[in-house]
Amino acid sequence: MANLHFHYGVMSSSKSAALIINAYNFRKNGNKVEVIKPAFDKRFASQKIVSRIGLECDAMAMPHLTQYNPAPDTDVVLVDEVQFFTPSDIDNLVHIADQQNKVVMCYGLMVDSNEQIFPAARRLIEVGAKLHRMDSNCQINGCMKLATHHLRFDSTGKVIRAGEQFALGDSNYKSVCRRHYNALYHGTKQKTK
């Protein structure tokens, strides 16, 4: 089994749910697991990962991972919202996977709502993490295509085309297929159903 994994997908592709299920299964099989999330992610709870379908597990909230060192008896490290960490944080996870022989599984977004790859995601690719795409359907009514992009909307339903790459929350985002992304982001159509 590879030691470094990146489970990526659009919002609502069950990344956090998969992390929670994997944490449960590893623990059930007698493995010691440490679960990490970014410290500024306080959407549901500061020391928990909560999926939209109601699953949850305890987590260590950390501002960065450059000094993180798992307990010696830890077998598996699970990292949620990995896109919010830095390339240096990823380098430390590589050290943990390779030098300490721990299984490190990261979960998060590959690209932002402007089709820009997150620096941490880029670093995971560069260091050869095993990639696992998590699929979801386009959230435009009636579309059943694979969601590959995110659109961010303002309070009036207009597409936002600039701004912070790092923004929490999903109430003003939609996961969409490439066709709907191009039509709404680059085209003249502004509002969704």
In degrees and rounded to multiples of 5, residue 66 shows phi and psi of: -65, -30
Tell me, what's the pLDDT at 190?
Answer: 47
Percent of the chain residues past pLDDT 70, beyond the cut: 88
How far apart CA 155 and CA 52 sit, in angstroms, is 22
Which domains does the chain show, CATH number per domain? 4-134 (3.40.50.300)
What 3-state class would DSSP assign to 7? strand
From CA 187, how far away is CA 69, in angstroms rounded? 47
Could you read off the pLDDT of 139-167 as tens digits, one per residue? 999 999 999 998 988 888 888 887 665 55
pLDDT tens per residue across span 51-60: 888 888 999 9
Low-confidence ranges of the chain (pLDDT < 70): 1-2, 41-46, 163-171, 188-193
pTM of the entire structure?
A: 0.89
